[in-house]
Structures are given as structure tokens and as C-alpha cells.
Structure 1
């Protein structure tokens, strides 16, 4: 049970919590965190897709693109849930 006015506070807390994780998440999880963060803070993907040489940038852009149409509140909620699962060690 969470109301949307609270989700911003939870989102802010999750951004702090993610820095305190006992171990660094795997690359796919990091990508998902990045994409959810961008969707939550910037909304739908914008800007030019990075070029062929920028592999990491391209992956990040694609991960963000995959969330197109997700509301910012929903993205915040998913980010919070992902960080919570990482804190409990449930996710690789």
C-alpha cells in the first residue's frame, strides 16, 4: 500500500540506499536502475541515440527506450522495488 505522494520520498531514499548496497549489482541490473531513474526523472527517452562506438551509451539508451510510455510515478515505484529486492539480496 503506497500512495503516489509518498513515492517521491521513497524514490529519493532508494537512490541513497543503492549507494550502500553490500555488493555492486550486475550490469543488467545497473542498466535497469539507470533506465528506471531516467524514466522517473526525465520521462520518455529523448536525445540522439549514441553512435556505434559508444557501446555503454547505446545499451543505456536502449534500456531507457524500453520503458517508453511508463509514467514517472510508475518508474519511481519500480526503481524503489528493485532497490528493495537488491537490499534483501533477492536479485542477482
Structure 2
């Protein structure tokens, strides 16, 4: 396993142990980065207007289209680290 993958797995565990729950926009960013890192570019149909949360998740993930999985993993790691240090919310 490469170093980035090890760090990514650790960041996922760290995200579950954060002392404070991040705000919704930060959670959305974490979700989108995770999906881009693990599944690649967005796929499937965009949820309809009745599924507001699904629509926001889809849009956040779609905004990362073309981002390499390793780049998304690094951004996820960096975001979790900033949350751990209290620099982001």
C-alpha cells in the first residue's frame, strides 16, 4: 500500500474522531473528496429536486470532475488535518 493510501485511511479514522462536528459545507467537501478519491468522477443520475441532500452531494462531487484520485486523497488528508488542528470548521 502506498503512503498516500495509508494516510488516506488514517484520515478517515481521524475524521470519525474529531472533537467537534464540522459544519455542513465542510462535511459536504469531505464527502465529495472521499467519493472522488474512491470512485472517480461522478456517475449516475442527478437526484431530483425532492432529494435536496442528494442533489447537494451530487453537485459537490461533480465539481471535482477530472481531479485525480491521489489528488483528492491528498486534499481529504489536508482538510482532516486542518480540522484536527482547529484551522477549519
TM over 0.5, shorter chain: yes
Query: Could you tell me which residue of structure 1 aligns to residue 34 of structure 2?
Result: 37
Query: Could you tell me which residue of structure 2 aligns to residue 80 of structure 1?
Result: 77
Query: Could you tell me which residue of structure 1 aligns to residue 68 of structure 2?
Result: 71
Query: What are the ranges of 5 or more consecutive residues in structure 2 without an aligned counterpart?
Result: none
Q: Describe the superposition over 1:13-62 as per-residue Cα deviations: whole angstroms up to 9, x where unpaired.
A: 00000000000000000000000000000000000000110000000000
TM-score by length of structure 1 reads 0.94
Superposed CA RMSD in Å reads 0.4
TM-score by length of structure 2 reads 0.98
Q: Provide runs of 4+ in structure 1 moved above 4 Å.
A: none
Pairs within 5 Å for 1:39-58: 39-58=36-55
Query: What are the ranges of 5 or more consecutive residues in structure 1 without an aligned counterpart?
Result: none
Q: What number of residue pairs does the alignment pair up?
A: 88
Alpha-carbon distance between aligned partners in 1 of 2:59 and 2:3, rounded to the nearest angstrom: 29
